[in-house]
Amino acid sequence: MLLQVLGTAAGGGVPQWNCACPGCSGARAHPHRRRRHASLAVRAAEGRWYIVNATPDIGDQIEECPALHPGPGARQTALAGLVLTDAELDHTLGIARLREAEGLEVLTTGVVREALLTRLHLGAVLGSYTSLTWRELPGERPEPLTPDAGTDIDCVPLCAKRPRYAAGTGPDHASWVVALRLTDRATGASAVYAPAVAAWPDTLQAAVNDADCVIIDGTFWDDEEPRRTGISDRTATGMGHLPVYGPGGTAERLAPLRARCFYTHLNNTNPLVDPGAPQHTLLAERGIGVAADGMVIEL
């Protein structure tokens, strides 16, 4: 199984266009600190890839990943489809960017599909450009990404956090936000990808216990970060993201795992966006890293 990290930032990216916080200012001064929106490319078969979450950066992310480049035919693409972990704008706006496709398969849960069709009207808007084929993301039994794929996929429902535009719609079900489990059928190696984690159910714990690689939500370093930096009057958990460090932090859950563990989906206020920040050392002492844009993981 081959994975390529296409981006590691939370909504807005790093730097965010209207932000002059230390993280954004540092990324402007030091371009190597820049991070695109969190996304992952998964090789389903030779020359066939799925992108997890269609971010506003998807065009640039495809250009920066040679395996996703078109060819040899003029409009022959390696992109087989998309997988969505939730309905948030920073994970779905890129669907419209792919309107030049002859057709596009989208794997997600039923509640996310309905939000995108009835609130964002993606089907109606894109219908004049391309056709969207929706496929239910398996949650009970893994399924191959494609019929010839060596990689299976299933999901672990996490919480009922809806995006603001979908407030009050759909059933109050944990499939609004899911973690993905990707399994190599030949070797049994597995990866868990969870860029948004508001809760840690037993099913997620079981998935990460068995995984060989875990890439998980690192939006905020600690619970008070949003209030301390002035970006919100809510805590990290109040905004739907378990913090990395401190009481209730996910680092303590990741440290005992046998898997290679990485954080992704970093907010611009998170000190981890600075590669020289001492917080990296605290994580390294626990055997945990921070994913980098362009990182390739082979399992």
Average the pLDDT over 79-104 and give the result.
Answer: 97
Q: How many CB atoms lie within 10 A of CB 96?
A: 16
Query: In this predicted model, what pLDDT tens digit does every residue of 220-231 receive, in sequence order?
Result: 999 999 999 999
Q: For residue 170, is pLDDT > 90?
A: no
pLDDT score at 212: 98
DSSP string, 132-181: EEEEEPPSSS-EESSTT-SEEEEEEEEE----GGGTT-S---TBTEEEEE
Q: What angle do CA 257, 261, 263 make, to 5 degrees?
A: 135
pLDDT score at 140: 80
Average the pLDDT over 251-268 and give the result.
Answer: 98
Average the pLDDT over 82-105 and give the result.
Answer: 97
Query: In this predicted model, what pLDDT tens digit does every residue of 111-158 receive, in sequence order?
Result: 999 999 999 999 999 999 999 999 999 998 999 999 888 999 999 999
Evaluate whether 54 touches 84 at the Cβ level (below 8 Å).
yes
DSSP category for residue 206: H
Q: Which CATH number goes with the domain that contains 124?
A: 3.60.15.10
Tokens of 99: 């309107």
Structural domain count, the chain: 1
Tokens of 235: 């805590």
Q: Could you list the beta-strand ranges (E) of the chain.
A: 2-7, 39-45, 48-52, 79-83, 104-108, 132-136, 143-144, 151-159, 177-184, 190-194, 213-217, 260-264, 288-290, 296-298
Tokens of 207: 């998935």
Query: In this predicted model, what pLDDT tens digit does every residue of 198-212 receive, in sequence order?
Result: 999 999 999 999 999
Distance CA 299, CA 191 (A): 8
Distance CA 101, CA 79 (A): 9
Residue type at 8? Answer: T
Q: Which residues contact 257 (CB under 8 A, 6 or more apart)?
A: 208, 209, 211, 214
Average pLDDT, the chain: 96
Residue 78 Cα distances to 83, 118, 262, angstroms: 15, 29, 26
Query: In this predicted model, what pLDDT tens digit does every residue of 282-299 receive, in sequence order?
Result: 999 999 999 999 999 999
Sheet holding 48-52, edge to edge: 132-136, 104-108, 79-83, 48-52, 39-45, 2-7, 296-298
Distance CA 52, CA 164 (A): 21
Average the pLDDT over 4-28 and give the result.
Answer: 97
Q: Work out the percent of the chain whose per-residue pLDDT is above 90.
A: 95
pLDDT score at 149: 83
pLDDT score at 169: 87
Q: Is 71 exposed, middle or buried (0-12, 13-18, 19+ CB in 10 A)?
A: exposed
pLDDT score at 148: 86
pLDDT score at 135: 97
Residues linked to residue 110 through DSSP beta bridges, in sequence order: none
Range of the domain at 107: 2-298
pLDDT score at 110: 97
CA-based radius of gyration for the chain = 18
Burial string for 155-165 (b: 16+ CB within 10 Å, else e) reads: bbbbbbbbbee
Average the pLDDT over 58-85 and give the result.
Answer: 96
Query: In this predicted model, what pLDDT tens digit does every residue of 21-55 receive, in sequence order?
Result: 999 999 999 999 999 999 999 999 989 999 999 99
Q: 0.85 exceeded by the pTM?
A: yes
